[in-house]
């Protein structure tokens, strides 16, 4: 068996038999040509693979900070009460299994949960009761789950929109032959498009780099592992505009000389998988995929979906490539760029969903249209996922250069005090930042925009972020593995009123250590929010640290404390 089929094989077995037995692991490992110990290591890396029999209905409740502010504790109590199961366990008769999980891409409709990977949103105690009652009666989970809407709140006027506009299949594909491979790269470079996943690397230069590599075959990989808490903008494209993403991948495949494209879809979005597969089949019927795409002789290109299995770190491109190869999803050392040695050590163009959609629109509408929006250094528009304390959470397509204050007005923010941009790994903003703008020259936003009002407990927010990173760390490098654990303990001390000035200094020191020495972006960015909060919200932390010379309570007398036990000596 081809090792790149490892995750597919594991999912197939778990979906059919409910878990991955030791007997299956041994057989599967033999078929893959690896040891059962190595395969067991792959399985244990992912949250959603289970080696013990599971319940008929597996419930994953989102425990992200937005869910927490929307009443998560009440929802958890309701699930425990109605199912008879405790969290982390399977209930009576094996009917329900209850688990917590990180952000599931539904921050605009929290509290939310996945039941057998079908979405349930805007949960209340009453709604939980009705859901569980229906499942107990035998109603299929797919018939009672919620329909997820696009929740589009705003897009630029006067036809300036790039993403949220009418889509007609084939408008990009039909232009490929006339443009030619070099012409496509030229258009993307001219547009000034940068990657939308957070690194902001020029998309045209990445495409050109991959095209210039002598090795073959080449691959196009779409990173649809949208796992940054508070982010759900790729969900819109995957759900409502999948053709845009597909045409962007096809155009990239033609430009670099690839024959295969792969969509790495996060497990939490597998409720979208069937629709994506249908979109791919539709493209094949239209002649946009398969042999001689759109009549271009010699350009054979296909796209397949690779389902992930629940690991935030697989959003990092090299970790994702390892996962696709059937290995543990651990980040690679940065010896080579993926355009040089990517999937199966071959040249690979990796972009996220939004970037491929932008590539498609640039070819369809022309680079001048793209450049007519935004600023000179930040052309185009950006999809923003807004959630938290606002009256209009959802998707906003804004021009680069938009002020934070304008965005807060658009979403009717409720007493904004603390804003986390680009998720927990991004940066925090306070009211002094509200006249700044989203752009390459000022505040870069990967897509997540979480708003918290002055009534929210900042410490709870930071503890939620740190717990998330501790859970999601792959554990390979010590700075990240130990650092997140230590930071979590320090925040616990602050919450309990036991922190000293030395703890404050150690938090800053560990932040620097993690930023400088962690193996991948997860560890490097894990303390970003905390470091920002310490510097931007000094009033909040002013009385949180006790003063002492060496970190010990000077009033504590060790000899006096031990005196009652002296009689037991000898």
- Grouping H, G, I as helix, E, B as strand and the rest as coil, residue 342 is coil
Whether the Cβ atoms of residue 128 and residue 96 lie closer than 8 Å to each other: no
d(CA 161, CA 373): 8
Asked if residue 434 lies in contact with residue 442, where contact means CB atoms within 8 angstroms, the answer is no
Distance in angstroms (rounded) separating the CA atoms of residues 520 and 402: 31
Q: What pLDDT does residue 287 have?
A: 98
How crowded is residue 228: how many other Cβ atoms within 10 Å of its Cβ?
Answer: 24
The rounded distance, in Å, linking the Cα atoms of 393 and 153 is 8
Which phi-psi region, left, alpha or beta, contains residue 13 (left: φ > 0; alpha: ψ -120 to 50)? alpha
Residue 392, CA distances (Å) to 93, 112, 239, 261, 361 in order? 42, 17, 20, 36, 27
Find out whether 360 and 247 touch, Cβ atoms under 8 Å: yes
Q: Spell out the domain ranges in the chain.
A: 3-45, 57-144, 173-371, 458-541
Distance CA 359, CA 245 (A): 8
> How big is the chain by its Cα radius of gyration, in Å?
25
DSSP 466-499: HHHHHHH----SHHHHHHHHHHHHHHHHHHTT--
pLDDT at 548: 63
Which pLDDT belongs to residue 569?
62
385: nearest Cα among 160, 63, 66: 66
Q: What integer pLDDT is reported at residue 543 of this predicted model?
A: 82
- Per residue of the chain (570 residues), what is the pLDDT tens digit? 899 999 999 999 999 999 999 999 999 999 999 999 999 999 999 999 999 999 999 999 999 999 999 999 999 999 999 999 999 999 999 999 999 999 999 999 999 999 999 999 999 999 999 999 999 999 999 999 999 999 999 999 988 999 999 999 999 999 999 999 999 999 999 999 999 988 899 999 999 999 999 999 999 999 999 999 999 999 999 999 999 999 999 999 999 999 999 999 999 999 999 999 999 999 999 999 999 999 999 999 999 999 999 999 999 999 999 999 999 999 998 889 999 999 999 999 999 999 999 999 999 999 999 999 999 999 999 999 999 999 999 999 999 999 999 999 999 999 999 999 999 999 999 999 999 999 999 999 999 999 999 999 999 999 999 999 999 998 889 999 999 999 999 999 999 999 988 888 999 999 999 999 998 888 999 999 999 998 898 888 888 888 765 545 545 566 776 777 676 665
State how far the Cα of 48 lies from the Cα of 60, in Å rounded to an integer: 10
d(CA 494, CA 505): 13
Rounded-to-integer distance, Cα 439 and Cα 192, Å: 13
Tokens encoding 338: 């993926």
pLDDT of residue 560: 74
The residue to which tokens 């022309």 are assigned? 366
DSSP state of 17: H
Lookup: tokens for 493:
């001390």
* Cα–Cα nearest to 307, from 324, 321, 322: 324
* Strand (E) or helix (H) holding 395: strand 394-399
State the residue for tokens 């320090």. Answer: 490
Residue 109, SS3 per DSSP: helix
Structure tokens, 403: 């002020």
Report how far apart the first and last C-alpha atoms of the chain are (Å, whole number). 68
What's the CATH class of domain 57-144? alpha beta
Residue 202, judged by CB atoms within 10 A of its CB (0-12, 13-18, 19+), counts as middle
Q: Which CATH architecture has domain 458-541?
A: Up-down Bundle (1.20)
Q: For the chain, give me the number of helices (H) and strands (E)?
A: 23, 15
Residues 101, 60 contacting (CB under 8 angstroms): yes
Query: Are the C-beta atoms of 111 and 119 separated by less than 8 Å?
Result: no
Q: Coil, strand, or helix at residue 451?
A: strand
For the chain, what's the residue count? 570
Q: Specify the CATH architecture of the domain 173-371.
A: 3-Layer(aba) Sandwich (3.40)
Secondary structure of 198-246 as H, E, C letters: CCCCEHHHHHHHHHCCCCCCCEEEEEECCCCCCCCHHHHHHHHCHHHHH
Distance between CA atoms of 353 and 372, rounded to whole angstroms?
22
**Quick one: which of 112, 14, 10 has its CA closest to 54?**
14
pTM above 0.85, yes or no: yes
């Amino acid at each position: 068996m081809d090792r790149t089929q490892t995750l597919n094989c594991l999912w197939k077995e778990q979906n059919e038999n409910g878990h991955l037995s030791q007997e299956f692991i041994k057989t599967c490992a033999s078929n893959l040509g690896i040891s059962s110990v190595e395969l067991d290591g792959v399985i244990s890396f992912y949250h959603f693979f289970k080696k013990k029999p599971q319940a008929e209905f597996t419930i994953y409740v989102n425990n992200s900070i937005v869910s927490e502010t929307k009443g998560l504790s009440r929802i958890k109590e309701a699930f425990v009460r109605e199912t008879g199961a405790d969290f982390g366990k399977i209930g009576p008769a094996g009917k329900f299994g209850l688990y917590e999980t990180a952000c599931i891409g539904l921050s605009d409709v929290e509290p939310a949960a996945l039941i057998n990977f079908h979405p349930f949103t805007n949960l209340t105690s009453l709604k939980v009761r009705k859901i569980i009652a229906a499942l107990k009666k035998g109603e299929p989970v797919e018939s009672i789950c919620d329909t997820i809407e696009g929740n589009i709140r705003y897009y630029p006027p006067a036809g300036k929109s790039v993403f949220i506009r009418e889509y007609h299949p084939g408008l990009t594909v039909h232009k490929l032959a006339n443009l030619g491979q070099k012409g496509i790269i030229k258009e993307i470079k001219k547009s000034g498009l940068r990657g939308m996943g957070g690194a902001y690397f020029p998309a045209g230069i990445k495409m050109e780099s991959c095209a210039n590599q002598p090795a073959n075959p080449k691959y196009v990989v779409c990173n649809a592992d949208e796992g940054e808490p508070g982010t759900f903008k790729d969900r819109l494209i995957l759900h409502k505009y999948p053709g845009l993403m597909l045409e962007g991948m096809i155009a990239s495949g033609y430009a670099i000389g690839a024959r295969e494209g792969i969509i790495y879809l996060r497990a939490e979005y597998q409720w979208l998988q069937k629709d994506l597969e249908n979109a791919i089949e539709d493209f094949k019927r239209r002649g946009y995929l398969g042999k001689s795409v759109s009549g271009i002789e010699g350009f054979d290109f296909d796209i397949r979906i690779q389902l992930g299995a629940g690991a935030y770190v697989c959003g990092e491109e090299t970790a994702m490539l390892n996962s696709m190869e059937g290995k543990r999803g651990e980040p690679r050392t940065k010896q080579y760029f993926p355009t040089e040695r990517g999937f199966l050590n071959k040249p690979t163009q990796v972009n996220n969903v939004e970037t491929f959609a932008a590539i498609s629109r640039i070819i369809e509408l022309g680079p001048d249209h793209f450049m007519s929006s935004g600023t000179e250094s930040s052309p185009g528009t950006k999809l923003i996922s807004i959630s938290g304390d606002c009256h209009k959470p959802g998707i906003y397509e804004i021009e680069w250069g938009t002020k934070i204050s304008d965005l807060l007005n658009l979403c009717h923010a409720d007493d904004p005090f603390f804003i986390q941009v680009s998720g927990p790994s991004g940066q925090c903003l306070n009211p002094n930042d509200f006249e700044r703008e989203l752009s390459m020259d000022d505040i870069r936003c990967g897509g997540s925009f979480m708003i918290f009002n002055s009534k929210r407990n900042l410490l709870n927010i930071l503890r939620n972020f740190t717990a998330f990173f501790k859970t999601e760390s792959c554990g390979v490098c010590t700075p990240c593995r130990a650092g997140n654990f230590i930071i979590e303990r320090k925040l616990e001390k602050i919450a309990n009123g036991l922190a000293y000035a030395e703890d404050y200094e150690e938090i800053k020191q560990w932040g620097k250590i993690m930023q400088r020495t962690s193996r991948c972006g997860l560890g490097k960015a894990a303390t970003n929010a905390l470091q920002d909060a310490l510097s931007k919200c000094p009033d909040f932390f002013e009385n949180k640290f006790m003063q002492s010379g060496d970190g010990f309570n000077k009033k504590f007398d060790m000899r006096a404390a031990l005196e009652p036990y002296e009689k037991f000596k000898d």
